[in-house]
Every structure is written in structure tokens, then in C-alpha cells.
Structure 1
Amino acid sequence: MRCILVGVKTKDKTEKELKNSLSELEGLVEALNGKTLGKLYQKKEVPDPATFIGKGKAYQLKELAEGIEADTIVFDTDLSPVQITNIENITKTRVIDRTDLILSIFSERAKTRQAKLQVELATLQHQLPRVYGQKGKALSRIGGGMKTKGAGEKLGEIKVRRIKDRISKIKKELEQIKKQRKQQRKWRSKDPNILKVALVGYTNAGKSSLLNRLTKRDTFISDQLFATLDTKTSYIVFPDTGKKVVLTDTVGFVKDMPQEIMEAFMATLEEVEEADLLLHVVDVSDENWLEKLESVEKILKKINVIDKPSIVVLNKVDKIIPSPEFLDESEEEILTGHRDSVIISTEMGWNLDKLREKIKEYSLLLKEPSYYGGE
């Protein structure tokens, strides 16, 4: 995939936000083994309803695609069916939007039955309005006849019905999986010696690596966006207290997470809702770590878990300091003070004992049911 990235600075987006967003988009392209050959920027207060970037800019995009032999144009926003069709007609090049790109990554990475169903559901929900918006021969009426399902029924209506039927079947199957997972969690919730912990955070913050380190589990990790999609669960046991900690890794978030993905992955996010404690993992070496932390907190607020007990785990500090001797100094400089936080390096093992001690402190509070809203 040889790509051109297209970013538009609208009235509600700063230059810095546009730059950061396109940088993330480039990372998403790399996650699909694609290559970014060029970028096109456009300042437009209000997106053009026909092409988003305006007809003149669309022809510039055509010349750029031809000049560098790009085969895909990726927009850092969601496009309407009409906009995609119009831009493809002008540029003679495949056009996808940000949600298309994320769904393609999810489709490649999904391993379990649940994850595959969730990706298919999100994809179908994203496609549905596009089928409604299609024009031309694909939606021409079928003539009446003995073998047709009703004279004059549109091809588009058949497609819509098929997609809706499939969505309904997927939702039923996911509901069954949800019930099974609920039963699996039920035994844990009854045991006062088990603390349920969910790892949350921006994609590529190091959640899977941290799970491996804390539990000595062999989970796939990669320095890519959305390297893992499937929920992973493992355990820590504190012999001196008799407490057991169940840690669950969850899918990483991105800024402005597409609604289709949010809805499709609610079964995964239930692990967050059921948790007693959240470990919010942050890549502190990222210059935009604070903005990404806030983006995740907005999502946690949407699913009504922002008030849960949490520890902010500032990871990858080894990328900004040369040795653990500088940890205390870094904590004074980086930690926000009003949060329960710990600065660590999963890669180097720095401060992991400190994090374990914090988790243990929360596990000791399990003897007080009211702490977690228990009966």
C-alpha cells in the first residue's frame, strides 16, 4: 500500500493537532505494512460536502498521486459515501478514511472468535450508511418477474437487509459470549481475596509488555499501533497476604475512537467496567503523552468508569533518562501530584516492584466491600 495522507485544518483543529494526528495516521499505515509517500494539507473552515477538500485541491491530489505513483489516498477523518466516490472519480485512486484504516488493522489482528465478530460488526456498521448513500447502476431497480423478490426492489435495499440481518446475528452471538464471560467473572467477584485489575491506555503505550512483566506471561508484543486486540488475562499472587490479582489487558484507544469500534468492542470494555482497579498505562516518552492521557480519560468517562480507583503508570521512562538513578528526579518533574501515579520502565524493569506494592495496597482494601461498592 503506497499512500498519500490527507489532513484538513478546520476551525476546531490547531496546526499542532493536525500534525500530531497525521503522524498517528502514518503509524496506522505502517501497522498495515503500508508506506507513506506524501502528505497533502488543506485549510478549510468548513469541509466541502462534495469532496471534503474542495474540487481544486482534489485535482492537486490527483496530480500528486500520479507523480509519486500512489495507489491509496488516506484521509485523516471520516468521509461520506458521496465524498469518497467523488474523490475517487477525480483522482482515479482508491480512497479510504481513518475508520476504514483502523478497521483494516483490526481485521488483520483479530485472533479469537469474539474479536473477529467484533471487527465484523464494526465494519458492517461502518458500511451500512455507505450502502444507503450509493448511487448509480448498483441501486437501479430490478424489473418484476417470476424469480425476483418483488417488482422494483432496489439492489441497495437487498444489501441493506443482508447487512442488517448479519448485524443482528453477530449481536446475538456476542451476547452469548458476553453471558459466558459474565459467568467466568462471577466466581472471581465472589472471592474477597481476588482483586480485578484492568490495564487501559492509548494504543502502543506498553500494556501487553507490562502484563508480561507483572505476571511472567508470554503475550505477543510489538512496537505498533493496535498490536494486540484480544483480551488477555493473567494473575499475580501475593503469598504474604493471601491476595490474588487478576489482570486483564484491553484493546488500546486512539483519539476520537470511531463510534462503530466503541460500540463493537463494548464486550471488551466490560472488563473495564467490572474491574476494581484500573492501571492507566501511558507512554511518557511521547511528547504528547498528556493529551493522550486525557483522550483515554474522555473514553473512560463515556463508559462511566472514570471514578474507579486507578493508578497512572507512566511507562517507557528509559527513553528519556539514562539510568534508574534519575527516577526520583524524573518523578518530581513529571508526576502531576494529584494522581496516584508511578513512573516505570517495563523494558528495563525499573520501579516494577514499586508498582506491585501499590497494587498490593489496593488488594488489601478488598476486606472493605463498600470500597468497591459491594454489598
Structure 2
Amino acid sequence: MKAVIVAVNLNDKEEDFEYKIQELEGLVEAAGGTVVGKVYQKRESPDPAYFIGRGKVKEIAQLVEGIRGDTVVFNVNLSPVQISNLSKELNVEVLDRTDLILKIFLNNARTKQAKLQVELAYLQHQLPRVYGGKGKELSRIGGGMKTKGAGEKLGEIKTRTIKDRINKIKKQLKEIEKQREEQRKSREDNPNILKVSLVGYTNAGKSSLLKRLTKRDVFISDQLFATLDTKTSLIYFPDIEKKVLITDTVGFVEDMPSEIMDAFMTTLKEIEDADVILHVIDISDKNWMKKKTTVENVLKQLKLQDKPTITVFNKIDKVVPSKDLIEEDVMENTITISAEKGWNIDKLFDILKKYAKQKEEKHGVCILQNSQ
């Protein structure tokens, strides 16, 4: 994919706009593409037909032809009409921000559950576009078309086929959720098992931390949304005879598309069932505070803001050259680490042990109360 990115500034501060452009470039790279051109426009409101101005559309068309680009990517979400109009004018594939994220998800999903979740999100996002010409891409997702009669319009056929496929996927995901629910019930209220969920902005280093804590082989890549599949691993503390089940979850991103949030709700339930959350933050990222807030807002959406949380500032090795230079964390439930180098992992283990003991004590109190 040779992409021209189109960044539209709708009254954003300059620094926020630059941040969004950088993230868009990272998303293009994660989708396997290369940014070959950039076009910027500042607008107070979107144009109903193209989102950008008509003059800017012609400018982009000339640029795409001149550098032989094959894709135009917008940093905003476009309506079906805008997608259709832009595709006709530019004569190349046009993707909005959600399209791009879903393209990455389609490439990176590995397990049956992740593939179904991504397909569901993709179909729900594309469904309004079937009459705008975008629906032709859906044939590779949902299988062949079934018609009810020669007089049925192509758009109606596509719509019916997509809706049938969406319903089928939802049923399959419900079955998977039933299986997961049984697994969760078997672990519920076990005082010897601490359930931990890893959350964080995409590419914060969650997979690296999971690998370091569990000594498991985990796929790691320095790209956005490198891993989508939920992984649950076991840590055993023989000195206190406690087990920790730690689950990695899909990384979050600013303005997470609602289709993805809805489709991945089964996976996100793992966070709901956790005893404690590890919020992993890339401390070497200059935008870490903004990304921290994004994750906290997602947790609020899930009504999990009051769940016990440990803030894990990761990648400190990219900020200081030696473990000896790490300043001591003064805030409670906060720790600075390097998952790659193993710095302060022993201290993180100590924090997890503390929570494991607290769960046992709390469970013991509950048993006493119920027996009275």
C-alpha cells in the first residue's frame, strides 16, 4: 500500500493535530503500507460531499497520479456518501480512520474468536456503504451471494447477505462467551488465584511484560495493534502458594471505533472479572499522558474506573541508561519498569504477591461472615 494521508484539522490545537498525524502514519505502517505523500487542510466543518474542499480533492488527485499512490487515508471518519464520492474522484482506494484500524485487525487476528470479532466489526462498519459502491469488498469476507429473485436489487442482496452473516457471527461469539463464562466460574472466588488483566494504549509493551512475567513465548512487534488475541497465562508463587492468572487484552487507541468496542466486548469482559488491572504506559512516549487519559476514559466507558489498578510505567530503559538511575516511585500502586531489560520486575512481583494475600484475607472474612 502506497498511501497518501489526508489530515484534516477541525479546530484542534497544533500539538494535538501533529499527534494525530503521527499516529495515522503509525497505523499506515502497521497495515503494511508506506506513506508516500501528505496533504493537510484546516476546516471549521466538514464538506457534506467530500469532507474536504473540492479544490483539495483535485490537488490530492494530481498528487496521487504523480507519485503513483494506490490508497488515500483520512485521519477522520467519513460518511458512505463521502467515501463513494472521493473514490470516484480519486480513482484509488479511500480509507477513513476506522477502515484503516479494521484493516490492521483483519491482518493481525490469529485465533477463531479474534477473527470473528474483527469480521463482525468490519461488516457492521461497511453495512451502511453497500449502496455507495464500497460493498463490493465484502464478498471476500462473508462468502457467496444468495438471491431471492431476478428482480431483487444488488444492494438489497448485499445488505441481506451481510445481515445474515452478522447474525451468524453473533451466535458463534455467544457460544465462545458461554465457554469462557464456564472457565471464569471455575476460577471465581478461589482465594489462591489472583486474576490480573493487562490494559494499555496499543504498543505500550503489554506483550513484552506478559512474556517477562510468565516466561512464555509471546509475539512481539514494534507496531500498533501487533497483537489482538487474548492470552491468559499462569504465574505461580511457591513461597506463598499463590497463583496469578494474567490476561493480555487488545490495545486501546484514541477515539476507539464503536464497532470495535462492541465486537470485542467478549474479550473486554476479562477486564471486568479481574481482581486487579495493570495499566501499562510507555513512559518514553512524549504523548504518554494523553494516551494514559485515553485508556482511563475507555475503562470509564466499561464502568471499570473503580477497579484496583496498578500503573506500570514501562520502557524506562529508553529514558535512562541504567537501572540505578530509576527514581523511586512515590505514588501508591505505581511502578516504573523495563519489561525488555527486566528492570524492577521483582518489585512488580512483590506488588502482585501483596494483592494475592489481600484476596485470601478478604475471602477468609467473607467465609466467616457467611457462616455466622
Give the TM-score taking structure 1 as reference length.
0.91
1:49-73 deviation per Cα after TM superposition (whole angstroms, max 9, x unaligned): 1000111111111111122211110
Aligned partner of 1:344 among 337, 359, 369: 337
| 2:358 partner amino acid | L
CA distance in 1, matches of 2:71, 2:128: 22
Counterpart of 1:250? 249
Counterpart of 2:206? 207
CA distance in 2, matches of 1:149, 1:117: 27
1:1-375 pair list within 5 angstroms? 1-11=1-11, 13-133=12-132, 149=148, 152-328=151-327, 331=329, 337=331, 340-369=333-362
CA distance in 2, matches of 1:14, 1:39: 19
Q: How far did 1:183 drift?
A: 0.7
CA distance in 2, matches of 1:108, 1:270: 23
CA distance in 2, matches of 1:88, 1:240: 63
Contact 2:191–2:363 (CA under 8 A) maintained in structure 1: no
Distance 1:370 1:77, change over 3 A: farther
CA distance in 1, matches of 2:311, 2:290: 14
CA distance in 2, matches of 1:191, 1:373: 12
Q: Which moved more, 1:219-228 or 1:124-133?
A: 124-133
Contact 2:232–2:248 (CA under 8 A) maintained in structure 1: yes
Q: Which moved more, 1:319-328 or 1:126-135?
A: 126-135
Q: Which moved more, 1:85-94 or 1:196-205?
A: 85-94
CA distance in 2, matches of 1:159, 1:112: 27
CA distance in 2, matches of 1:293, 1:341: 13
Contact 1:276–1:372 (CA under 8 A) maintained in structure 2: no
Counterpart of 1:143? none
Distance 1:311 1:109, change over 3 A: same
Give the TM-score taking structure 2 as reference length.
0.92
Q: How far did 1:368 drift?
A: 4.1
Contact 2:276–2:308 (CA under 8 A) maintained in structure 1: yes
CA distance in 2, matches of 1:133, 1:87: 11
Contact 1:82–1:134 (CA under 8 A) maintained in structure 2: no
* Aligned partner of residue 328 in structure 1, secondary structure: coil
CA distance in 2, matches of 1:228, 1:372: 39
Counterpart of 1:138? none
Q: How far did 1:153 drift?
A: 3.3
CA distance in 1, matches of 2:245, 2:365: 15
Q: How far did 1:157 drift?
A: 1.5
**Structure 2 unaligned runs (5+)?**
135-145
Q: How far did 1:132 drift?
A: 4.8
CA distance in 1, matches of 2:258, 2:292: 19
1:178-217 deviation per Cα after TM superposition (whole angstroms, max 9, x unaligned): 0001111111114111000000000110001101101111
* Aligned partner of residue 6 in structure 2, secondary structure: strand
CA distance in 2, matches of 1:97, 1:2: 15
Distance 1:372 1:35, change over 3 A: farther
Contact 2:192–2:243 (CA under 8 A) maintained in structure 1: yes
Q: How far did 1:367 drift?
A: 2.3
* Aligned partner of residue 188 in structure 2, secondary structure: helix
Distance 1:48 1:359, change over 3 A: same
Percent of pairs identical after alignment? 60
CA distance in 2, matches of 1:152, 1:373: 66
CA distance in 1, matches of 2:364, 2:46: 49
| 2:7 partner amino acid | G
Q: How far did 1:288 drift?
A: 0.2
CA distance in 1, matches of 2:218, 2:155: 43
Q: How far did 1:150 drift?
A: 5.4
Contact 1:103–1:122 (CA under 8 A) maintained in structure 2: yes
